[in-house]
Amino acid sequence: MTAGPHPATAEIIVVGGGPAGAATAALLAARGHEVVVVERTPAYAWRACGVFASPAAVDALRRIGLPEDAIDAATRSIPAMRVEAPSSPPFRLTYGDDGSLRASAVGFDRSVLDPTLLDLAAARGAQVRRGVACTGVRTTPTGPVATLRDGTGTAEVRARLVVGADGIRSVAARSLGVAAPARIGRRIGLTYHVAVPSYPGAPPPDARMVVVRDGYVGLAPVPGDRVNVGIVLGRSWRPALAADGADRVARRVLRDADEADPTGTLANAEPTDRITGASPIGHRVTRRSGPGWLLVGDAAGFLDPFTGEGLHRALISAELAAIAVDGFLRAEPGALDRYERAMRARFATKDVVSLVVQAFLARPRLFAYAARRLASRDDMRETMGRVMGDLVPASRALDPRYLAALLRP
């Protein structure tokens, strides 16, 4: 990690030191580029973020170059995601692991993963500057300019290219004029961890996605005998949140989600970190790249925690961005436009699937109908799990033959 005066110029400035920004910096530094990463937090701090991922995300970390022991330290194996909804039997999504594979879904310890990725970028030569906030990015005829602020003051730094990797409330996206309202209504997200002891010899627990009134709850085991709680709530919960606060509402939602557990293990467990919130949790951009800049990770658009696989998307966007930036800096015509097209080709259909799932969630009877069909049809369920985990093209879930087989009585 570096400190000191801001440089007057830089080849590449990466705004945001989360997984997308750190992975992009690590890949570009490995290609020999001068990279400066600015991260507004002086040290890692828990904030609302994703922790559950399919094996595809772990494969991406390997391609980026994270050592196997570092991956092991940051992950906990999860056999399946158990989906539970009112008026339908639960079903398990195995994300491609039918017992014949060595890989499984995982729960990430973000307090390990995020700093480890930044350390990887620094080890490859990137300058990582913590406690530095970007307050704006503007384009000029001679290249982009980032306004950076820390405890010593504010400075403008000119770069050949700026990568916006600063999350769903991206300053980079807003200042470049490409931020747009999400297509899904304003929702509230609450996240935190609770301690749930494991027992020697016990099988690894499943993750759970529980549909509740006007919302859903994701429960993902992570390292350190903890469960990450992610709660997404619609507009109808706003009065309760205003009157009772996040802690009481979170416990109430967990009690509803865990009705089958008479001990109330999760609802009564004490949080191991503070409850953090985000609203709205959706984010959209009109484009992901422009003259001298591009966006990665959640800054490039975030749609749906239920199916979004945000960590995997962040890492894939980093890989695609590194190729595009390298080409841009080598004066390849249209390099940044190719990034835009590559991201659209990779994720546009998955976004349609996510919007369809959200439409079903907004109609509980329709969701229960589809859930009953998935619970009773192994091949349909396996395909859906692979689509959700980004292991096969999302178009498989939109194939008319698949939809007809899934929804027929």
What is the C-alpha separation between 53 and 222, in angstroms, rounded? Answer: 11
Q: How many domains does the chain have?
A: 2
358 inside domain: no
312 located within any domain: yes
Residue 101 pLDDT: 45
Residue 15 domain-assigned (yes or no): yes
Q: How confident is the model over 72-111, as pLDDT tens digits?
A: 999 999 999 999 988 889 999 888 654 444 468 999 999 9
Sign of the CA dihedral with 88 first, then 90, 91, and 94 last: positive
Taking the model in full, what pTM does it have? 0.92
* pLDDT tens digits for range 115-135: 999 999 999 999 999 999 999
End of a domain among 328, 350, 372? 350
pLDDT per position as a tens digit, 242-295: 999 998 999 889 888 876 555 557 777 888 888 888 887 878 899 999 999 999
pLDDT value of position 202 = 81
Phi, psi for 331 (deg, rounded to 5): 65, 30
Residue 196 falls within a domain, yes or no? yes
Residues 6+ apart with CB under 8 A from 173: 164, 179, 283, 285, 295, 299, 300
Same domain, 142 and 173: yes
Q: What is the mean pLDDT of the chain?
A: 89
pLDDT at 103: 65
Report, as an integer, the average pLDDT of 11-15.
97
Q: How confident is the model at residue 39 (pLDDT cuts 50, 70, 90)?
A: very high
Q: Note whether 233 and 340 are same-domain residues.
A: no
Residue-number span of the structural domain to which 242 is assigned:
186-278
Indicate whether 340 and 220 sit together in one domain.
no
Do 200 and 248 fall within a single domain? yes
Residues 135, 178: one domain?
yes
Single residue among 278, 296, 328 that ends a domain in this structure? 278
pLDDT at 6: 63
365 within domain boundaries: no
| Same-domain status, 202 and 320 | no
In a domain, 399, yes or no: no
What is the per-residue pLDDT for 37?
Answer: 97
Note whether residue 372 is domain-resident.
Answer: no
- In this structure, the answer to whether residues 204 and 328 fall within a common structural domain is no
CATH of the domain at 269: 3.30.9.100
Residues 153 and 222 in one domain: no
Q: How does pLDDT run across 41-63, given as a tens digit for each residue?
A: 999 988 878 899 889 999 999 99
Is 69 exposed, middle or buried, given 0-12, 13-18 or 19+ CB atoms closer than 10 A? exposed
Greater confidence, 2 or 164?
A: 164
146 and 29 within one domain: yes
**257 in the same domain as 115:** no
Residues 15 and 158 in one domain: yes
Predicted confidence at residue 260, as pLDDT, reads 56
Instruction: Assign residue 289 the CATH number of its domain.
Output: 3.50.50.60
Nearest to 283 by CA among 157, 150, 186: 186
> Where a domain ends, among 227, 243, 278?
278
Beta-strand (E) ranges in 100-245? 105-108, 127-130, 133-140, 143-150, 153-164, 179-180, 188-195, 207-212, 215-222, 226-233
Same domain, 205 and 286: no
pLDDT of residue 385: 87
Residue 396 domain-assigned (yes or no): no
